[in-house]
Amino acid sequence: MATPGTGGRLEQTHAVDAYTAAQAAQDAVAVHERRTFRIWRGERGTGQLVDYTTYAVEGMVVLDAIHQIQAEHANDLAARWNCKAGKCGSCSAEINGKPRLMCMTRLDELAKDEPVTVEPLRAFPHVRDLVTDVSWNFRVKKTIAPFKPRAPDAPDGTWRMAQSDVDRVQEFRKCIECFLCQDVCHVLRDHEKHEEFVGPRFLVHAAALEMHPLDTADRVPALREAHGIGYCNITKCCTAVCPEHIKITDNAIIPLKERVVDEFFDPIGKLVKIFSRRGSRS
């Protein structure tokens, strides 16, 4: 005779058992194929690629394979991840030489006749195996002037904005800070201009503020000098790797470059500013 209050627990146990059985049945009929993964192992920038072979089934992503390899072959393999849903940006790596999210890279998208190479991001200091130190990015973010709203323009203390102006900056808010765009940028990856260039992620952040219909801060001088926007030669490689499909180059970087040109290099604009300043003095 079951004790009072155990009915719910028994039902839950049966549900779990049924789910496990269904998963086992699904795995049993799934096509299993052996895949080789060539994974970077080492610490502080030193190491080598090591081959691991494991079974893959339909629907698996690279992160699934990494977890399977950790369970079967390499319990000490270091890899960073969190949500496994393409929204936290934690599992960034270089897969077959391209910066991608491990949780969003399906194995059936990759060639089956060659190993899947998984390496850490190259634009940041290496810590261990697939983990890098991306803390530089958070320090850079603090150097960009924060949001500075104008005074409310309605009696109730709120603002009036055109919907088109609001829509313009919504795209930039999709960024999950995976830093794939930072990793692929040749200015940071190849030329290591970390002290002179903030990178595409933070040009997107600056654009989200500069183009906000309520913001009043002037970031244009800093974009030219401290943030190094001139280093970007608009190759669009950052746009190509963005998992949120943000048009980084066309919608953020180029409009910011135009503001810098208008401010510092447009001769007509300079004349207008000179005469407007003279008029204000008279």
Please report which confidence band the pLDDT of residue 5 belongs to, taking 50, 70 and 90 as the band edges: low
Judge whether residue 14 has pLDDT over 90: no
Q: What is the pLDDT of residues 123-147, one digit of tens each?
A: 999 999 999 999 999 999 999 999 9
CA atoms within 13 A on the CB side of 72: 11
Model confidence pLDDT, tens digit, residues 17-55? 787 787 677 666 566 789 999 999 999 999 999 999 999
pLDDT in tens, 236-254: 999 999 999 999 999 999 9
**pTM over cut 0.85:** no
pLDDT above 50: residue 281: no
282 pLDDT band, cuts 50/70/90, is very low
